[in-house]
């Protein structure tokens, strides 16, 4: 299995509800079935008796959302796949921590809810989202390229990083651009951001 980093912008009411209600939080982070797999998932789910599906849900099993199930949030999900740890390194020059406010772009925020397999989700509040957006606005591709150090990243055991892979630039810079835009958009709306690894 891979550790994939996901983001979802939340309004103030959604953020409050996510802090207070574990079921709601889980609904925000439930896997969404892509359209290609939707029909197969629907057929497989239809074969699971409703009582067993209820037990699976009650046990904490992560059940995929199907398109006919209501979405708990209108906010789109951002997926930066396996680029999360490398991006954090390039922003913070540390594997697991970093300077304020940049550490909140990938690995920051307050832990909310139960362990989801790779730790609990984290909620970056609206004030920090604004600070992160401002900090990211001052960072360019050239800055990240200067910070790139394959030897140091390998020594820090950056997840899914291969120092011999020349595609790093495209992956990390694409993730950076998408995270930067996501924080900017959320800051403009006064939203918090929920971040989780799945």
Query: What are the strands of the beta sheet with 192-197, ordered from one edge?
Result: 77-81, 5-10, 192-197, 121-124, 110-112
Bridge partners of residue 194, in order along the sequence: 8, 123
In the block, which residue shows the tokens 């980093």? Answer: 5
pLDDT of residue 85: 97
Q: How far, in Å, are 76, 86, 88, 140, 172 from residue 83 at the CA level?
A: 19, 6, 9, 17, 6
Pairing verdict, β 5-10 and 192-197? antiparallel
Tokens, residue 149 = 């150090």
Which pLDDT does position 18 carry in this prediction? 95
pLDDT tens, N- to C-terminus, the chain (198 residues)? 689 999 999 999 999 999 999 999 998 998 765 565 556 666 776 778 877 777 776 666 655 555 444 444 446 899 999 999 999 999 999 999 999 999 999 998 999 999 988 999 999 999 999 999 999 999 999 999 999 999 999 999 999 999 998 888 889 999 999 999 999 999 999 999 999 999
Which of 106, 119, 123, 124 has the alpha carbon at shortest distance from 172?
106
Do the Cβ atoms of 195 and 109 come closer than 8 Å? yes
pTM, two decimal places: 0.80
CATH numbers and ranges of domains, the chain: 5-20+77-197 (3.40.1760.10)
């Amino acid at each position: 299995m891979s550790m994939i980093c996901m983001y979802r912008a939340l309004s103030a009411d959604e953020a409050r509800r996510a802090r207070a209600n574990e079921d709601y939080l889980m609904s925000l982070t439930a896997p969404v079935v892509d359209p290609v797999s939707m029909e197969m998932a629907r057929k497989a789910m239809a074969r699971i008796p409703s009582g067993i599906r209820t037990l699976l849900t009650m046990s904490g099993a992560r059940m995929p959302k199907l398109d006919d199930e209501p979405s708990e949030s209108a906010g789109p999900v951002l997926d930066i796949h396996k680029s999360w740890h490398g991006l954090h390194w390039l922003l913070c020059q540390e594997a697991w921590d970093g300077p304020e406010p940049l550490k909140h772009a990938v690995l920051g925020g307050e832990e909310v809810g139960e362990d989801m397999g790779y730790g609990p989700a984290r909620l970056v509040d609206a004030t920090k989202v604004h600070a992160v957006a401002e900090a990211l606005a001052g960072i360019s591709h050239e800055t990240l390229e200067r910070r790139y150090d394959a030897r140091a990243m390998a020594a820090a055991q950056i997840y899914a990083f291969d120092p011999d892979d020349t595609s790093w630039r495209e992956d990390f810079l694409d993730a950076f651009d998408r995270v930067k835009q996501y924080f900017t958009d959320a800051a403009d709306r006064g939203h918090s951001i929920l971040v989780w690894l799945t």
